[in-house]
Amino acid sequence: MQDALATGQSVVTADAELLTDADAIEANVEVTGVPDVGARTAIRSIENRKPIIMLNVETDITVGAYLSHLARQSGAIYTVASGDEPGVCKMLHEQATLMKS
């Protein structure tokens, strides 16, 4: 896989965790909608200090706080996309907090 990616070839895999330490991939976007797959992929990405963008709301509402904590502790990036429910709720909360100040 590493050789194929390094030469610009496409790679198809059923194992998303393989992507978490591929040198040619700058960040992972988790979109499966499967909580355990999303969690394992995010954890492996965080362990490899590869940014993880979570679009998997099922994983984020289940273990997102833990994944965020784990990422902060290891110096990795864990973020949710603004277009999904958790991102929108967070944005609304931040706006309300700022307006209250």
**Domain span at 74:** 2-100
In this model, does residue 86 exceed pLDDT 70? no
The CATH code of the domain that includes 75 is 3.40.50.720
54 phi and psi angles, rounded to 5 deg: -95, 115
**How far apart are alpha carbons 32 and 14 in whole angstroms?**
12
DSSP secondary structure string, 61-73?
HHHHHHHHHHHHH
Report yes or no: 46 and 52 within 8 Å, Cβ to Cβ.
yes
27 exposure class (CB count in 10 Å sphere: 0-12, 13-18, 19+): exposed
Tell me, what's the pLDDT at 84?
Answer: 60
Q: Mean of the pLDDT values across residues 65-91? A: 85
Q: Residues 23-62: pLDDT tens digits?
A: 888 899 898 889 999 999 999 999 999 999 998 889 999 9
Whole-structure pTM value: 0.76
3-state secondary structure of 92: helix
Tell me, what's the pLDDT at 74?
Answer: 96
Q: Mean of the pLDDT values across residues 60-77? A: 96
Tell me the percentage of the chain whose pLDDT exceeds 70. 93
Tell me, what's the pLDDT at 66?
Answer: 98
Total domains in the chain come to 1
Band of pLDDT at residue 85, cut at 50, 70 and 90: low
What amino acid is encoded at 98 in this protein? L
